[in-house]
Amino acid sequence: MRLQVAAFHVRTNLSYLVHEGLSADILYQKIGLTREQLDEPGFMVDVSLSETLLEFGSKQLDAPDLGFRIGKWGDSGRWGVLGHMVDCAQSIEQALLLQRRYQSLVGNSSKSEFTVHDKKAYLKWVPHHSCSRHLSEEVVTSWVAFAKKAIGLKLNPLEIHFSHSLVANLADYEAFFECPVYFDSEFTGIVFPADILHLPLVGYNPDLLNVLTSYGDIIVRKKQKSAANEIITQYIMNTLSEKVPTLNDAAEFLGVSSRSLQRKFKEQGTNFKTIVDDVRKDYAYSYLLQTNYKMSYIAQVLGFSEQSVFQRAFKRWTGMTPGEYRESNGKQLNND
């Protein structure tokens, strides 16, 4: 599975590093890209290059909390067209729906989960297993920064969670989020009062939102017609918790015939069943390494009928059980 992130997101990170005094020429050289490429609409960058930039910047600035710093510094423009849509949304609820609908515009390196329980809303983020803590902290921090600005009221999250360990000063995080912040948690994400979902946002602009969503729809349709990598993987990830998608399901979603989609995959030296298997395998790694969820939950969201079926599939992929894999990579066990 080829992991990509939108160029405008990488450009935001690079701009922050330049703002902090690093040489733009050295940074572009480090990732092997030019300013013109990062300015190109629709250009996608391999996640490995984005991670290279973050790791280099963290070392040069002696900033183990680099993602947190970037999340506070940037604005919604870091997410391109999707970011501008969110700025124009009527409510947080609509912003979350837009995020899910147009996720492919910003890449395929993560998935989000949203639930409401006992008057609390849970917005969780599951990055690909190859993504670092920097990206996790940047995403969560930028979500909260957006909400603070967009609602226009002094409303804080109830809790912030990160599944990785704390490597900086906890007081800095608590000062910004203005709520308890937990590391080595079960998940990465935000817990906030559910009634915030329906509050009006100060930037609501229905006319501009219609323009932006129309433009977003054009880009998504082009990606669908070409069976773009980020569209296919995002579709599979979003569908697995409900059912394991078939070739016919994917073709219907993309608006193409099953035969033409099958031919497209054959030209790429693969088939839809293999792609589904690869996505399940990659996100099994991600859930095991980027969260502390129980095995039964991981099996469910990956579309396995039972935990034992997931365990057999994982052993086929790796020669290890999920618990052994998690333990061998230094994660705490939660194997129920």
The amino acid at residue 331 is K
- With tokens 């999707």, the residue in question is 82
What CATH number was assigned to the domain covering residues 227-328?
Answer: 1.10.10.60
Q: For the chain, which residues make up each domain, given as ranges? A: 4-198, 227-328
Cβ atoms 229, 2 nearer than 8 A:
yes
DSSP 58-92: HHHHT-TTHHHHHHHH--GGGGHHHHHHHHT-SSH
Tokens representing residue 119 in the block: 């008057």
DSSP letter assigned to residue 185: -
Q: Directed axis angle between helix 229-239 and helix 247-254, to 10°?
A: 120
Tokens of residue 143, six digits: 């979500």
Give the integer Cα–Cα distance in Å for 179 and 8: 30
pTM of the model: 0.85
Residues 93, 87 contacting (CB under 8 angstroms): no
**126 forms bridges with which residues in the sheet?**
111
267, 270, 222, 275: which is closest to 246 by C-alpha?
275
pLDDT in tens, the chain (336 residues): 678 888 988 999 999 999 999 999 999 999 999 999 998 878 889 999 999 999 999 999 999 999 999 999 977 777 888 989 999 999 999 999 998 888 888 888 888 889 999 999 999 998 888 889 999 999 999 999 988 888 876 778 999 999 999 999 999 999 999 999 999 999 999 999 999 999 999 999 999 999 999 999 988 888 777 766 778 888 898 899 889 999 999 999 888 899 988 988 888 888 999 999 999 999 899 999 999 999 999 999 999 999 999 999 999 999 999 999 998 887 655 555
| CB 158 within 8 Å of CB 191 | yes
The rounded distance, in Å, linking the Cα atoms of 214 and 209 is 8
Neighbours of 196 (CB within 10 A): 18
Tell me which DSSP letter residue 162 carries. Answer: -
The Cα–Cα gap between 164 and 185 comes to: 7
Position 304: which residue type? F
CATH 3.90.1520.10 assigned to domain 4-198? The reply is yes
Q: Fold identical between 4-198 and 227-328?
A: no
